[in-house]
Structure 1
Amino acid sequence: MGTDWRQDTGVADGFDAYDDLPERVLGYPEVFRGLRLDDPDVRTVLDYGCGPGKVALRAAGGFDVDVVAVDISERMLRIAKDSRPHPRVDYHHVESGKLGFLPDGAVDAAMSCYVFINIGDLDAIRAIAAEVHRVLRPGGRYAVLDTNPDTTGVEFATFRSGDPGASYTTGQRRRVLLNQPGGGVLELSDHHWPRSTYGDVLIGAGFAAVEYATPLLDPREHGALVGGTLLGVERPAEAVAAPFLIATGVK
């Protein structure tokens, strides 16, 4: 059985406690670049699958944008509202995945971080992409961040997705380990989607010009950010194996 993101409050609390250091240094900045959040024409951003609000807060705090943040987990949203309130972030609970409160073309950009890998039904993933496409304005960009399917099993600074040496088929469940503050590990279950799945889903939903990014840690670029952290060591895994895949499409 997979991770129960709707009902398991322990999962929500553990995910919130997880130190998303590699994501902060490598993943989220690449998402924001892909969405061109520094473009003055990008004023409203959809965070589909916002979880505890970490990415939404960084977007609203770092750019001149309003963020519409949605999630299926009421517990995640409660954590987000209590721990990461921001006057420019509007949190919404969604039941069916539909965004009925948003009209067509209502947002300038959209992102989904750790959403696709937590869904084992490809049709459900396609439905999300189609709904995001609907609410994006023409020319709007959609960025999807997940763990990199090509580095499954690698022990990164704060997490491991998949078992070392294991080979996974499309959609197969994988064991995920997230390090917890003060010791301990939160064990979750996600799904293996190869790179081609992301392109197929986005193109199938109507997106064009799909681009992929797999950022690596570069001491010259990221040195000031990682000093004194788990990434501030000689030859961290993130410098030789890309932990994330970011797929970006344009409506």
Structure 2
Amino acid sequence: MSTSWQAEEVAAGFEAYDDLPERRIGYPFVFETLGIGDPAVTRVLDYGCGPGKVAERVVGACTSTVVAVDSSPAMLGIARRQRPHPRIDYRLVHDERLAFLPDDSVDAAMCCYVFINIGSLDRIGRIAAEIHRVLRPGGRYAVLDTNPNTTGVRFSTFRSGDPGRRYAPGQRRRVLLYRPDGHTLELIDHHWPPSTYHHVLAEAGFGGITTHQPLWEGGHGPEDELAEGNERRNPPFLIVTGEK
């Protein structure tokens, strides 16, 4: 089984995690490819919003509204308490459905750390299809997950998978999140190769599908929090984008 994100202690542990590489490398790329800040992007869907960290960054970077959805009441409870905002609409989803959103009603959509936490390709496909339904024509979709090509590498704040081990598609994989308080949160996710992401998005109807594996290209001094990490040599994230 994968990690139960319904558990209060898991949600609290994830909230305590410092998503440093994500906010330095991953999320800026996602925001750029989705056109966050473009006047034409007025409504953004954050599917799998967790404790609301990414949704909060979206509204801090632009004037868009965000529909932030998750299947975990524990995660949404943290988001509503810690990151309330008049332009963020937090919603609980059931069975991957976005029944409260009509067709073609959002300008951009993202899934951050969603696919790797699901062991069923059918469920992943339903999520992508539902996002395709609610995204307007010409709108872009971005999926960010840990990079299956660098499984086992110790990054600044996490390690996904055990060093030297090869994983089959969908296989469970141990994840370690190194928290600022010195504690380590152990989770279980699933290994999906890049071809899975392309297949899922194509099956859902997305075109122009591209894969990105950005590296850290920041400074080198002591003020650079990622200066000594593996993020310069090994891309920590796989980001797959498509257009409706």
Give the 3-state SS of the residue equivalent to 2:219 in structure 1: helix
The C-alpha deviation readout for 1:54-95, integer Å capped at 9, x for no partner, is 100001111121100000001100101111111111100112
Residue 223 of structure 1: how far off its partner (Å):
2.3
Q: What is the identity percentage for the equivalent residue pairs of Structure 1 and Structure 2?
A: 61
Aligned equivalents of 2:53, 2:128: Cα separation in 1: 21
Match in the other structure for 1:126 = 125
User: Does the alignment pair 1:3 with 2:3?
Assistant: yes
Structure-2 residue corresponding to 1:207: 206
Structure 2 partner of 1:228:
223
Q: Which moved more, 1:109-118 or 1:33-42?
A: 33-42
Change (3 A) 1:227 1:37: farther
Moved over 3 A (4+): 226-230
Any conservation in 1 of the 2:67–2:91 contact (CA below 8 Å)? Answer: yes
Corresponding residue for 1:100?
99
Are 2:73 and 1:62 equivalent residues in the alignment?
Answer: no
TM-superposed deviation, 1:214: 0.8
CA separation in 2, counterparts of 1:195 and 1:89?
A: 31
State how far apart, in whole Å, the 2-side matches of 1:5 and 1:182 are.
21
Q: Distance in 2 between matches of 1:160 and 1:175?
A: 8
Which residue of the partner structure matches residue 233 of structure 2?
Answer: 240
Report if the CA contact (8 A) 2:58-2:66 is conserved.
yes
Q: Could you tell me how far apart the structure 1 residues matched to 2:149 and 2:131 are?
A: 26
Query: Equivalents in 2 of 1:246, 1:205: separation in Å?
Result: 17
| Aligned equivalent of 1:143 | 142
Q: Secondary structure of 1:223's partner?
A: coil
Q: Distance in 2 between matches of 1:229 and 1:178?
A: 20
Aligned 1:1-251 pairs, distance under 5 A: 1-6=1-6, 8-218=7-217, 222-223=218-219, 227-228=222-223, 230-233=225-228, 236-251=229-244
Distance in 1 of aligned mates of 2:2 and 2:140: 30
> Aligned AA for 2:77?
R
Give the aligned CA root-mean-square deviation in angstroms. Answer: 1.2
CA distance in 2, matches of 1:38, 1:154: 33
Task: Describe the shift of the 1:120–1:20 C-alpha distance in structure 2 as closer, same or farther (beyond 3 A).
Answer: same
Mean alpha-carbon deviation: is it higher for 178-187 or for 202-211?
A: 178-187
Question: How far apart, CA to CA, are the structure 2 residues paired with 1:56 and 1:213?
Answer: 22
Report how many residues are paired: 244
Q: CA deviation at 1:229?
A: 5.5
Q: Normalised by the size of structure 1, how large is the TM-score?
A: 0.95
**Structure 2 counterpart of 1:3, which letter?**
T
Deviation at 1:180, TM superposition (A): 1.6
Give the letter for the 2:74 counterpart.
R
Q: CA deviation at 1:212?
A: 1.2
Q: Answer whether contact 2:37 2:61 (CA < 8 A) is retained.
A: no
